[in-house]
Amino acid sequence: MLMDGKKIFKTSIPKLDDYLDGGLRESSMTLLWSFPGIDNSPFAYQAMVEILDKGGRCIYVNQSKMSNAVSNEIEHYGWNIKPYMDNKNLIFLDAYSGLINVESREEFSVENPRNPDEITKELSKILGMDGGESTMVVYDSISTLIDHCGDEAVYEMQEWKKIFEKNKAVGVFLFTEWPYDARILEELRRVSDAVVELRAIEEKVILREFFVVSKVGWNGKIKEGATAPFKITAPGGVMIYIPKILVTGPFNAGKSSVIHSLSDTAVSVERVGTTIALDHGHVDYKGFSVDLFGTPGQERFDPILELLGGEALGVIAVVDSTNPDSFPRVKEMLTKTKSAGLPCIIAANKNDLPGALSVEEIRDGLGLGVPTPVLPVTAVDLSKVEKNKPANLKEKELYALLDALFSKIV
């Protein structure tokens, strides 16, 4: 895929490609700028595997650990890279062994990694072997380069940039912000075409990590709100993390059916066949990692609704399409959970039953504006629906709910 005449390299990380105007660009350098304690390498691994899967190649310059340690980490996240190493689409340029005075086992290595000019020469040689087009260079890490070669080493990146432009390659560089001179930090930002910052924020006792795209040089634009929470899973890699989606609605609307149909690991607190406290489930979908929390529908549990709604980032309000008399209760529950104003999707459950209202009728009955999506939800097989048991709902319709909600949250 081309944009403005340049090839786009997808990272396969949701929203990050969007914030980067489609993905990384050929002849460019992107800096994964992390703050201490945050691991940036899975971002590079995921982008690297994406290009390898598409038939491209990768040169991994390892300067902070042995190459086998890198390959073991990548395998740990669930990506099988052995075939790419066997066919030499994945090449390690060993700039680490020389730092610890051991003989390199790699075909390509830098005898003196403390001399950045040697790294440049080896990199240029490998890129020129078959042409660098559709090649990603991952450099691990710029922090190690500075620590061993001195502050001035960052200016060698100018030479690397020329090599990438000549070979139409793309560079991804890992950097951790230790207490470096402000002049060096400024130079890193200046020479990089794009900067993705990995940060953390502490909320009470919860530490959440998120990325911020703070520079996109190939179009000169930074999208408003170009930030997203993430977590790193093994296997799985980098996923956009939404820690809490509230699933609310009146009694018998089908909240448990929604959560149990989305999550194989969902659990409920029940008494006499109905949920009395909450449902909880987890779902991984399209690179998103999401926790779902359901609420009881009976009015006697209203005192705990505000507590259950705390820290939610979005809401799925489940309504019974055949029971318009319950619609006022839906609006009441959105108010009592303090979720009014949050990104919200209406799941019109039981839309396959006789007498079910249309999407437009449900929207009118709830008094909703057009911006609030109302999506039908139906059972896989009505003949198998049991009273007081979660129904098995159609996966495609449930995923449509998630797609609509994610687009509003992130």
Q: What is the mean pLDDT of each run of 10 residues along the chain (410 residues)?
A: 77 92 94 93 96 94 94 94 95 95 94 94 89 84 92 91 92 94 94 94 64 88 82 89 89 91 80 58 92 84 72 89 92 77 90 92 84 90 81 94 89
Sorted by where each begins, the domain ranges of the chain are 2-235, 241-409
Q: How far apart are CA 319 and CA 351, in angstroms?
A: 10
Q: Which phi-psi region, left, alpha or beta, contains residue 315 (left: φ > 0; alpha: ψ -120 to 50)?
A: beta
Check residue 203 and give its pLDDT.
53
Burial class (CB in 10 A: 0-12, 13-18, 19+), 121: middle
Note the pTM of the prediction, 2 decimals: 0.80
Check residue 205 and give its pLDDT.
44
Q: How far apart are CA 366 and CA 355, in angstroms?
A: 17
Check residue 1 and give its pLDDT.
65
Check residue 275 and give its pLDDT.
45
Check residue 132 and give its pLDDT.
56
Check residue 4 and give its pLDDT.
65
Check residue 7 and give its pLDDT.
87
Q: Alpha helices, DSSP H only, in 23-135?
A: 41-53, 67-76, 82-86, 116-130
CATH architecture of 2-235: 3-Layer(aba) Sandwich (3.40)
Check residue 339 and give its pLDDT.
67
Q: Are the folds of 2-235 and 241-409 the same?
A: yes
Q: What is the DSSP string of 163-202?
A: HHHHHT-EEEEEEE--S--HHHHHHHHHH-SEEEEEEEEE
Check residue 243 and give its pLDDT.
85
Q: How far apart are CA 143 and CA 63, in angstroms?
A: 10
CB 99 within 8 A of CB 148: yes
**Given CA atoms 374, 379, 382, 386 in this order, what sign does their dihedral have?**
negative
Strand duo 288-294 + 314-320: pairing: unpaired
CATH class of the structural domain 241-409 = alpha beta
Check residue 204 and give its pLDDT.
47
CB 228 within 8 A of CB 196: no
CB 191 within 8 A of CB 158: yes
Beta bridge partners of 349: 320
